[in-house]
Structure 1
Amino acid sequence: MDKKPYDPSEIEQRLYQEWEDSGLFTPDDGSESYSLAIPPPNVTGTLHMGHGFQNAIMDCLIRYYRMSGKNTLWQVGTDHAGIATEMVVERRLNAEGKSKNDIGREAFEKEVWNWKKYSGNKITSQLRRLGSSLDWSTERFTLDDEYQHAVLGAFIQLFEEGLIYQGKRLVNWDPVLETSLSDLEVINKDLTIKIWEIKYQLEGTDEFVTIATTRPETLFGDMALAVNPDDKRFAHLVGQNAEIPLCNRVIPIVADDYVDAEFGTGVVKITPGHDFNDYELGKRHGLHLNESLQCHVGDESAFSPISILNKAVEIIGVAPKKFHGMDRFEARKLLLKDLEKEKFLVSEKEYESTLPYGDRSDQILEPLLTDQWYVDAKTLAKPAIEAVKSKEIQFVPANWEKTYFQWMNNIQDWCISRQLWWGHRIPIWYDESNTPYAGFSEKDVRDKHNLNGTLRQEDDVLDTWFSSSLWTFATMGWPKKNEKLNLFHPTTTLVTGFDIIFFWVARMIMMTKHFIKEVPFKEVYITGLIKDENGQKMSKSKGNILDPIDLIDGVSLDELLAKRTEGMMQPQLKEKIIKQTKKQFPEGIESYGTDALRYTFYSLASPGRDINFDIGRIKGYRNFCNKIWNAFRFIEMQVTNHSYQPGESSGNILSDWMGSKIHQTAENCQTHIKQYRFDLASAEIYELVWSNFCDWYIEFNKVAIQNSEDANQTNNLIGNLITNFYSILELLHPFMPFITEELSSKLANLAKVEKLGFMVESGFAHSRASNKKTEQQLDEIISIISALRAIRAENQNIKNEILNLIISNDLNSEMQSVISKNEAMIAGIAKLDGIEFSDKIPAEAIEKTVDGYKLIIPLEGLIDPEEEMMRLQKELADVENDLKIINSKLANEQFTSKAPPAVVEKEKAKVLDAESKKALLEKSIAKLQP
Structure 2
Amino acid sequence: MTELPKTFDPADIERRWYAHWEAQGLFHPDRPGAEPWTIVNPPPNVTGALHIGHALDNTLQDILVRHARLKGKDALWIVGTDHAGIATQMVVERQMAAKGEKRTDFAREDFIAKVWDWKAESGGEITRQLRRLGCSMDWANERFTMDEGFSKAVLKVFVDLYNEGLLYRDKRLVNWDPGLGTAISDLEVETREVQGRFWHLRYPLADGSGFIEVATTRPETMLADMAVAVNPADERYAALVGKQVRLPITGRLIPIVADEHADPALGSGAVKITPGHDFNDFEVGKRAEIEARDMLNMLDAKAQVTQTADGLIPADLLGLPTADARKRVVALLKDQGFLVPHVDKDGIEHDAEPRTIQTPYGDRSGVVIEPWLTDQWYVDAATLAKPAIAAVRSGAIRIVPKTWEKTFFNWMENIQPWCVSRQLWWGHRIPAWFAEDGRIFVALTEAEAQAQAGEGIVLRQDPDVLDTWFSSALWPFATMGWPDSNPPRDGEVAARSADGGGGPQSAPLAAAPPPPPSVVPLPVPGRILEGRYPNDVLVSGFDILFFWDARMMMQGLHFMGDVPFKTLYLHGLVRAGDGSKMSKSKGNTVDPLGLIDRYGADALRFFMAAMESQGRDIKMDEKRVEGYRNFATKLWNAARFAQANGIGASTTLEPPSATLAVNKWIVAETIRTVQAVDLALADYRFDGAANAIYQFVWSRFCDWYLELIKPPMVDGERGEIDAESKAVAGWVLDQILVLLHPFMPFITEELWHAMSDPARPRANDLIVAQWPMADARSIDPEAEREIDWLIRVVSEIRSARTEMNIAPSLKMESYVGGASEDQQQKIARQWPTISRLARIERADLDQRALGRSNTLQVVVDEVTFALQLEGVIDLDAERARLTKGIAAAEKERDALAGRLGNPSFVERAKPEAVEKAKADHADKAAEAERLGAALARLG
Same fold (TM over 0.5): yes
1:80-159 correspondence runs (5 A)? 80-159=83-162
1:923 matched to 2:914: no
Kindly state the Cα deviation for residue 339 of structure 1 after the two structures are TM-superposed. 2.3
Kindly state the Cα deviation for residue 451 of structure 1 after the two structures are TM-superposed. 4.3
1:797-808 correspondence runs (5 A)? 800-808=809-817
Q: Is the 8 A contact 2:666 2:701 kept in 1?
A: yes
Aligned to 1:559: none
Aligned mate of 2:171, from 165, 168, 177? 168
Count of residue pairs brought into register by the alignment: 867
Greater per-residue helix proportion: 1
Q: Is the 8 A contact 1:385 1:408 kept in 2?
A: yes
Q: Is the 8 A contact 2:377 2:421 kept in 1?
A: yes
Distance 1:541 1:646, change over 3 A: closer
Q: Is the 8 A contact 1:848 1:854 kept in 2?
A: no
1:666 & 1:51 partners in 2: Cα distance?
A: 28
1:747 & 1:302 partners in 2: Cα distance?
A: 73
Q: Is the 8 A contact 2:170 2:375 kept in 1?
A: yes
**Share of identical aligned residues, percent?**
41
2:592 & 2:453 partners in 1: Cα distance?
A: 54
- State the AA in 1 paired with 2:445: S
- State the AA in 2 paired with 1:100: R
1:594 matched to 2:601: yes
1:736 & 1:233 partners in 2: Cα distance?
A: 69
Q: Is the 8 A contact 1:703 1:829 kept in 2?
A: no
Deviations 1:848-902 (A, max 9, x none): 565532133363xx6259x844444554675588689989999999xx999x999
Aligned to 1:576: none
2:554 & 2:923 partners in 1: Cα distance?
A: 61
- State the AA in 1 paired with 2:70: M
Kindly state the Cα deviation for residue 773 of structure 1 after the two structures are TM-superposed. 2.9
Aligned to 1:253: 256
Secondary structure, counterpart of 2:599 in structure 1: coil
Aligned mate of 1:329, from 323, 326, 329? 323
Deviations 1:665-709 (A, max 9, x none): 011110001101111111111110111111111112222697999
- The normalised TM-score by structure 1 is 0.87
Secondary structure, counterpart of 2:255 in structure 1: strand
Aligned mate of 2:624, from 593, 617, 622? 617
Aligned mate of 1:223, from 214, 223, 226? 226
Aligned to 1:465: 469
- State the AA in 1 paired with 2:307: I
Distance 1:809 1:917, change over 3 A: closer
2:570 & 2:894 partners in 1: Cα distance?
A: 52
Kindly state the Cα deviation for residue 80 of structure 1 after the two structures are TM-superposed. 0.4
Secondary structure, counterpart of 1:753 in structure 2: coil
Q: Is the 8 A contact 1:76 1:139 kept in 2?
A: yes
Aligned mate of 2:448, from 444, 447, 455? 444
- State the AA in 2 paired with 1:500: I
Distance 1:316 1:851, change over 3 A: same
1:437 & 1:706 partners in 2: Cα distance?
A: 93
Secondary structure, counterpart of 1:825 in structure 2: helix
Q: Is the 8 A contact 1:33 1:488 kept in 2?
A: yes
1:254-293 correspondence runs (5 A)? 254-287=257-290
1:615 & 1:258 partners in 2: Cα distance?
A: 49
- State the AA in 1 paired with 2:440: P
Secondary structure, counterpart of 2:80 in structure 1: strand
1:890 & 1:310 partners in 2: Cα distance?
A: 61
Aligned mate of 1:44, from 44, 47, 51? 47
Kindly state the Cα deviation for residue 215 of structure 1 after the two structures are TM-superposed. 1.6
Aligned to 2:535: 491
1:798 & 1:403 partners in 2: Cα distance?
A: 59
Q: Is the 8 A contact 1:794 1:920 kept in 2?
A: no
Aligned to 1:737: 745
Unaligned runs of 5+ residues in structure 2 are: 341-350, 487-524
1:270-669 correspondence runs (5 A)? 270-287=273-290, 304-314=294-304, 315-317=306-308, 318=311, 319-346=313-340, 347-447=351-451, 451-479=455-483, 480-481=485-486, 482-486=525-529, 487-553=531-597, 591-639=598-646, 651=658, 652-669=660-677
Deviations 1:700-749 (A, max 9, x none): 22226979999996444334322221211111111111110111111114
1:242 & 1:891 partners in 2: Cα distance?
A: 64
Kindly state the Cα deviation for residue 23 of structure 1 after the two structures are TM-superposed. 0.4
Q: Is the 8 A contact 1:644 1:715 kept in 2?
A: no
Distance 1:783 1:707, change over 3 A: farther
Kindly state the Cα deviation for residue 196 of structure 1 after the two structures are TM-superposed. 2.0
2:320 & 2:695 partners in 1: Cα distance?
A: 68
1:726 matched to 2:729: no
1:884 & 1:420 partners in 2: Cα distance?
A: 68
2:834 & 2:671 partners in 1: Cα distance?
A: 24
Secondary structure, counterpart of 2:37 in structure 1: strand
Greater Cα shift, 377-386 or 843-852:
843-852
Greater Cα shift, 482-491 or 355-364:
482-491
1:629 & 1:34 partners in 2: Cα distance?
A: 32
Secondary structure, counterpart of 2:632 in structure 1: helix
Distance 1:908 1:626, change over 3 A: closer
2:315 & 2:415 partners in 1: Cα distance?
A: 40
1:70 matched to 2:73: yes
1:688-707 correspondence runs (5 A)? 688-703=696-711
Distance 1:729 1:885, change over 3 A: closer
2:595 & 2:804 partners in 1: Cα distance?
A: 44
Distance 1:917 1:417, change over 3 A: closer
Greater Cα shift, 877-886 or 469-478:
877-886
Secondary structure, counterpart of 1:387 in structure 2: helix
Deviations 1:211-244 (A, max 9, x none): 2222222111111112222223222322221111
Distance 1:507 1:810, change over 3 A: same
Kindly state the Cα deviation for residue 760 of structure 1 after the two structures are TM-superposed. 1.9
1:12 & 1:267 partners in 2: Cα distance?
A: 66
Secondary structure, counterpart of 1:443 in structure 2: helix
1:331 & 1:891 partners in 2: Cα distance?
A: 58
Distance 1:264 1:673, change over 3 A: same
Deviations 1:549-581 (A, max 9, x none): 11111xxxxxxxxxxxxxxxxxxxxxxxxxxxx
1:493 & 1:353 partners in 2: Cα distance?
A: 41
Kindly state the Cα deviation for residue 433 of structure 1 after the two structures are TM-superposed. 2.5
1:789 matched to 2:798: yes
Identify the structure with bigger relative contact order (alpha carbons < 8 Å, sequence gap 6+).
2
Aligned mate of 2:211, from 208, 211, 215? 208
Aligned mate of 2:246, from 232, 237, 243? 243
Greater Cα shift, 64-73 or 480-489:
480-489
2:628 & 2:824 partners in 1: Cα distance?
A: 39
Kindly state the Cα deviation for residue 186 of structure 1 after the two structures are TM-superposed. 0.9
Q: Is the 8 A contact 1:808 1:837 kept in 2?
A: yes
1:771 & 1:709 partners in 2: Cα distance?
A: 33
Q: Is the 8 A contact 1:727 1:766 kept in 2?
A: no
Secondary structure, counterpart of 2:116 in structure 1: helix
Greater Cα shift, 400-409 or 846-855:
846-855
- State the AA in 1 paired with 2:328: L
Greater Cα shift, 420-429 or 317-326:
317-326
Distance 1:93 1:795, change over 3 A: closer
Greater Cα shift, 470-479 or 93-102:
93-102
- State the AA in 2 paired with 1:675: D
Greater Cα shift, 783-792 or 266-275:
783-792
1:798 & 1:855 partners in 2: Cα distance?
A: 21
Q: Is the 8 A contact 1:882 1:914 kept in 2?
A: no
Q: Is the 8 A contact 1:803 1:857 kept in 2?
A: no
